[in-house]
């Protein structure tokens, strides 16, 4: 039973160039790995994670690839407070002659 | 008929694909050798300042405020010898619709694409430019594809680039996210062929002409605020368009004596195409990994003749460390109430150091800010850096080591600039021209061109050619 319904917002993955097809001018670490592509869009048919699928992108282009994520999250954030930065404001106000609040 | 889409076949069709996708025949500006008619290209393919102002007004681009950084100026004066410490101004480019000066650059390209009847635009960029093109395309009802370099081979994304991708999607663009490698260009060419969209290249005369209004506004606003021309304008330098467009705008406004200073974050030692190094840098643009290669070989770009040629305009080029820029980003927020950055604050860090060399009655301008937030803030970048094994500590920023250690200054007096040897860059550029065009001899036209393109004189070019063993 396919568990991802047609119309769901998903991410697909594809290898664009295998390591042997890549540009000859690459550093060694990059040479060893493929050039990969990730793209989001709406599934045009029911499917399971890992299937070869087709999506329709935000501008209506149809692209094929392996289904890897459903409703992919934006997981970048503000990060943790950085102790090395936290006191800079107080230090600067002191230099400027204030009390550093 | 099916096209051969192998790497070699597509790369071999590069010129043909590009000609269709930017609608410029560069051939007409060529001399057949090293020289080409840059000013004619800018004149015939670009637009005048007045035309651009009109185009930009249609989509709310430009006319950003110029703000005097009074507390940072005061701080710089505390740290400077008596009588020193120029007034520091900042141009709040974050006020553009997508949050950076890149809207100026995108506005003319997208206008042109619309006028020529293209259905959509494509941009190859991991930076703010993607969001700018996406935003302008949304306003002009064109489709937009942005191709980004985002992930390492473990699928880890640079937070700042992830944020820029999110923003493009927020404007309705399709975002193609690639892993590390220069073959992004191959994917880009395939897409241009497949879609027939316009290449909103960063490096066409349209893009650069779009930035001229920034320099022009700086001149007008500084004159209105201080009654004088800016003495120095500091410009964050990556691909060199920011320097080129701003300097041209200043010149068009008649600022003949304003010093043009480029500034980049020093990322010496990190390889830009390395899968490992990719996520060990905390700046994704405005750094030496773009700045130096583009200054010394601008025509590496996606168009045959790059309109961004920073050596033509630079009087001085300096670097600052990652830690110094993070420090100044914090200082800007804490003392001036402006949360901005990251790339735009590279020139701020440099200006803060350079202001202390200048007289009190002089004016130094930081010509941009950019929007910030999730992924882009120092806290986001430094959290990610720590996770990637980069050490973060306070100390003398001279101890900063890209990819290994980020040193946040202990005191603002430690913020200094390092000079980039412009002479070495000029020689390297001339040598690259000779290699690329495989010439045995420089013509009079080549010599004239190279003198203009390096902001030197013909005798200088002759001397360098002699050093390189090239006859003239
Ligand atoms: C905010 C910001 N500042 C400066 C730059 C550098 O501009 P350029 O690549 O034209 O040198 C960029 C782009 O890379 C940017 O996004």
- Residues of chain A neighbouring B408 (CB-CB closer than 8 A): 84-85, 88
Domain boundaries, chain B: 7-49+100-205, 59-98+210-419, 422-467
CA distance A90 to chain B (A): 8
B16 or B323: whose pLDDT is higher?
Answer: B323
Q: CB of B112 within 8 A of CB of B206? A: yes
Q: Which residue of B has its CA nearest to A86?
A: B330
| Strands (E) located in B42-86 | 66-68
Angle at B236 between CA B232 and CA B240, to 5 degrees: 105
CA distance A89 to chain B (A): 5
Evaluate whether the domain defined by B7-49+100-205 bears CATH number 1.20.58.340: no
Q: How many CB atoms lie within 10 A of CB B443?
A: 15
B399: Cα separation from own chain's centroid: 26
Supply the residue whose CA is at minimum distance from atom 13 of ligand 1.
Answer: B285
Please report the residues numbered 42 through 71 in chain A whose beta carbons come closer than 8 angstroms to any beta carbon of chain B.
57-61
Task: Kindly state if the Cβ of B235 falls inside 6 Å of ligand 1.
Answer: no
Residue A95 lies in a domain: no
Q: What is the Å distance from ligand 1's center to B146 Cα?
A: 16
B187/chain A closest Cα distance in angstroms: 8
Closest-CA residue in chain B for A87?
B330
Please give the pLDDT value at position B46: 77
| Residues pairing with B346 in the sheet | none
Percentage with pLDDT > 70 across chain A: 97
Instruction: Please tell me the distance between residue B129's alpha carbon and the centre of ligand 1 in angstroms.
Output: 8
- The whole-angstrom separation of Cα B454 and Cα A54 is 51
Tell me what the pLDDT averaged over chain B comes to: 96
Phi-psi domain of B160 (left: phi exceeds 0; alpha: psi -120 through 50; beta: other): alpha
Backbone angles phi, psi at B396, to 5 degrees: -80, 120
H helix intervals, B360-457: 378-387, 422-436, 444-453
Nearest CA to ligand 1 atom 4: B236
Instruction: Find the mean pLDDT for residues B146-161.
Output: 96
**Rounded mean pLDDT, A93-97:** 95
- Of B149, B152, B172, nearest in space to B161 by CA: B149
Lowest mean pLDDT among A31-35, B41-45, B407-411: B41-45
For residue B397, pLDDT over 90 is answered with yes
**CA distance linking residue B68 with residue B74, whole number of Å:** 11
Tell which of B124, B272, B379 to mutate to test the A interface (max A CBs under 10 Å). B379
Distance, CA of B171 to CA of B132 (rounded, Å): 9
- The pLDDT of residue B201 is 95
Task: Give, using CA atoms, the residue closest to atom 6 of ligand 1.
Answer: B238
DSSP state of B279: G
Chain A nearest-CA distance from B70, in A, is 12
Residues B93 and B210: beta-carbon distance below 8 Å: no
Q: Once rounded to an integer, what is the mean pLDDT over residues B182-201?
A: 95
Shortest CA distance from A23: residue in chain B: B183
pLDDT tens profile B157-180: 999 999 999 999 999 999 999 999
Q: Is the pLDDT of residue B211 over 70?
A: yes
How many Å apart are CA A14 and CA B173, to the nearest integer?
A: 19
Find out whether B22 and B204 touch, Cβ atoms under 8 Å.
yes
CB nearest to A30's CB, from B6, B274, B392: B274
Three-class DSSP labels, B339-383 = CCCCCHHHHHHHHHHHHCCCECCCEEEECCCCCCCCCCCHHHHHH
Q: Using a 6 Å cutoff on CB, does residue B240 contact ligand 1?
A: yes
Confirm whether A17 is domain-assigned. Answer: yes
**Section A11-37 average pLDDT:** 95
ipTM over 0.90 threshold: yes
Distance from C-alpha of B311 to C-alpha of B247, rounded to nearest angstrom:
11
Distance from residue B310's CA to the centre of ligand 1 (Å): 12
Tell me what pLDDT residue B1 has: 56
Question: Residue A87: CB partners within 8 Å, gap ≥ 6?
Answer: none
Please tell me whether residue B179 adopts helix, strand or coil conformation: strand
Segment B280-318, tens digit of pLDDT: 999 999 999 999 999 999 999 989 999 999 999 999 999
Question: Quick one: average pLDDT of A71-92?
Answer: 97
Pocket test of ligand 1: the residue of B148, B210, B286 to mutate, having most ligand atoms within 8 Å of its CB, is B286
Quote the distance between the C-alpha of residue B154 and its chain's center: 29
In a domain, A86, yes or no: no
Determine contact, residues A25/A12, Cβ cutoff 8 Å. Answer: no
pLDDT single digits (tens) A34-74: 999 999 999 999 999 999 999 999 999 999 999 999 999 99
Q: Tell me what pLDDT residue B256 has.
A: 97
Ligand 1 pocket member B128 (CB < 6 A):
yes
Residue whose entry in the numeric block shows the structure tokens 């001279």: B398
For B392, phi then psi, to 5°, come to -120, 125
CATH says B59-98+210-419 is which class? alpha beta
The response to whether residue B210 sits with its C-beta less than 6 Å from ligand 1 reads no
SS in 3 state form for chain A? CCCECCCCEEEEEEEEECHHHCCCCCCHHHHCCCEEEEEEEEECCCECCCCEEEEECCCCCEEEEEEEEECCCCCCCCCCCCHHHHCHHHHHHHHCCCCCC
Closest by Cβ to B187, choosing from A16, A58, A93: A16
- pLDDT of A18 reads 95
Q: Render B118-158 in DSSP notation, one character per residue.
A: -SEEEEE-SSHHHHHHHHHHHHTT-EEEEEEEEE-TT--B-
Is the pLDDT at B407 greater than 90? The verdict is yes
Query: Which among B71, B330, B383 has the least Cβ separation from residue A80?
Result: B383
- The CATH code of the domain that includes A55 is 2.30.30
The answer to whether the beta carbons of residues B210 and B105 sit under 8 Å apart is yes
- Contact status, residue B321 vs residue B353, Cβ threshold 8 Å: no
pLDDT at position B344: 87
CA B242/CA B102 separation, integer angstroms: 9
Q: What is the pLDDT of residue A2?
A: 84
Indicate whether B128 pLDDT > 60: yes
Token digits of residue B274: 């390395």
Q: What's the B238 CA to ligand 1 centre distance in angstroms?
A: 6
Instruction: State the pTM of this model.
Output: 0.97
Please indicate whether, in this complex, the C-beta atoms of B143 and A78 are within 8 angstroms of each other: no
Q: Could you give the CA distance from residue B310 to residue B78 in angstroms, rounded to a whole number?
A: 33
Q: Report how far residue A43's alpha carbon sits from residue A29's, in angstroms, rounded to the nearest whole number.
A: 34
pLDDT at B371: 97
pLDDT above 70 as % of chain B: 100
Taking 90 as the threshold, does the pLDDT of residue B3 lie above it? no
Range of the structural domain that residue A26 is part of: 1-73
Q: Where are the alpha helices (H) located in B151-308, listed in sequence order? A: 159-170, 184-195, 205-226, 241-252, 288-296
What DSSP state is assigned to residue B425?
H
- Does residue B239 line the site of ligand 1, with CB under 6 A? yes
Q: Is the pLDDT of residue B121 over 60?
A: yes
**How far is the centre of ligand 1, averaged over its atoms, from the C-alpha of B284 (Å)?**
10
* Nearest beta carbon to residue B78 from set A78, A82, A95: A95
Contacts of A73 in chain B (CB under 8 A): none
d(CA B82, ligand 1 centre) in Å: 35
What does pLDDT average to over chain A? 95
CB within 8 Å of B312: residues ≥ 6 apart: B38, B244, B247, B452, B453, B454, B455
Radius of gyration of the CA atoms of chain A, in A? 23
DSSP structural state of residue B237: -
A20 contacts in chain B (CB < 8 Å): none
What's the gap in Å between the CA of B297 and the closest CA on chain A?
Answer: 17
- The residue in chain A having the minimum alpha-carbon distance to the alpha carbon of residue B385 is A79
- Label residue B44 by pLDDT band (50, 70, 90): confident
Least reliable range by pLDDT among B40-49, B121-130, B324-333: B40-49
CA of B344 from ligand 1 middle (Å) equals 8
Give the pLDDT score at A99. 54
- Distance in angstroms (rounded) separating the CA atoms of residues B435 and B51: 38
Tell me the average pLDDT across B41-70.
95
Does residue B214 register a pLDDT over 90?
yes
Please name which of B81, B82, B80, B64 lies closest in space to residue B72, comparing C-alpha atoms.
B80
> CA dist B403 to B28, B154, B220, B268, B280, Å?
44, 18, 41, 9, 5
Structural domain count, chain A:
1
Tell if the CB–CB gap between A41 and B159 is shorter than 8 Å.
no
State whether A79 and B408 contact (CB < 8 Å).
no
Is there a domain that residue A62 lies in?
yes
């Amino acid at each position: 039973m396919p568990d991802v319904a047609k119309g769901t917002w998903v991410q697909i993955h594809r290898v664009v160039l295998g390591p042997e097809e890549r540009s000859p001018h690459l550093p060694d670490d990059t040479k060893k790995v493929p050039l990969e592509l990730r793209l989001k869009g709406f599934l045009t048919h029911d499917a399971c994670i890992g299937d070869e699928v087709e999506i329709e992108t935000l501008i209506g282009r149809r692209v094929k690839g392996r289904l890897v994520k459903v409703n992919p999250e934006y997981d970048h954030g503000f990060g943790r407070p950085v102790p090395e930065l936290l006191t800079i404001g107080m230090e600067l106000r002191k230099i400027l002659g204030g009390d550093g609040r | 008929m099916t096209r051969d889409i192998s790497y070699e076949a597509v790369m071999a069709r590069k010129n043909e694909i590009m000609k269709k996708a930017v609608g410029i025949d560069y051939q007409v500006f060529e001399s057949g050798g090293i020289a080409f008619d840059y000013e004619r290209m800018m004149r015939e393919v670009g637009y005048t300042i007045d035309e651009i102002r009109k185009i930009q007004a249609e989509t709310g681009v430009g006319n950003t405020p110029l703000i005097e950084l009074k507390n940072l100026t005061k701080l710089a004066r505390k740290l400077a010898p008596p009588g020193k410490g120029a007034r520091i101004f900042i141009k709040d480019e974050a006020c553009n619709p997508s949050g950076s000066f890149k809207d100026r650059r995108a506005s003319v390209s997208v206008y042109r694409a619309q006028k020529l009847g293209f259905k959509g635009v494509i941009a190859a960029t991991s930076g703010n430019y993607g969001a700018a093109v996406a935003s302008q395309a949304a306003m002009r009802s064109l489709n937009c594809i942005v191709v980004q370099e985002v992930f390492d081979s473990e699928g880890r994304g640079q937070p700042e680039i992830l944020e820029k991708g999110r923003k493009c999607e927020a404007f309705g663009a399709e975002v193609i996210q690639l892993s590390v490698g220069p073959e992004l260009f191959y994917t880009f060419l395939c897409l241009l062929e497949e879609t027939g969209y316009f290449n909103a290249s960063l490096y066409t005369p349209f893009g650069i002409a779009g930035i001229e209004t920034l320099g022009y506004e700086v001149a007008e606003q500084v004159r209105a605020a201080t009654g004088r021309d800016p003495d120095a304008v500091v410009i964050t330098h990556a691909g060199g368009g920011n320097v080129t467009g701003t300097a041209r705008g200043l010149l068009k406004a008649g600022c003949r004596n304003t010093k043009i200073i480029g500034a980049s974050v020093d990322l010496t030692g990190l390889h830009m195409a390395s899968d490992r190094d990719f996520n060990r840098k905390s700046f994704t643009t405005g750094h030496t990994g773009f700045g130096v290669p583009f200054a010394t070989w601008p025509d590496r770009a996606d168009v045959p003749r790059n309109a961004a040629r920073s050596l033509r305009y630079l009087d001085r080029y300096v670097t600052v460390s990652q830690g110094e820029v993070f420090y100044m980003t914090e200082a800007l927020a804490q003392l001036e109430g402006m949360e901005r950055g990251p790339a735009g604050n590279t020139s701020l860090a440099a200006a803060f150091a350079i202001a202390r060399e200048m007289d009190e009655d002089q004016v130094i301008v930081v010509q941009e800010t950019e929007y910030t937030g999730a992924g882009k803030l120092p806290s986001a970048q430094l959290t990610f850096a720590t996770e990637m094994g980069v050490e973060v500590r306070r100390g003398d920023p001279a101890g900063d080591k890209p990819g290994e250690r980020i040193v946040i200054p202990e005191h603002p007096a430690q913020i200094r600039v390092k000079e980039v040897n412009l002479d070495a860059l000029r020689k390297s550029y001339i040598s690259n021209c000779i290699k690329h065009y495989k010439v045995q001899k420089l013509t009079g036209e080549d010599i004239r061109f190279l003198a203009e393109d390096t902001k030197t004189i013909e005798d200088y070019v002759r001397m360098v050619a002699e050093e390189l063993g090239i006859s003239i």
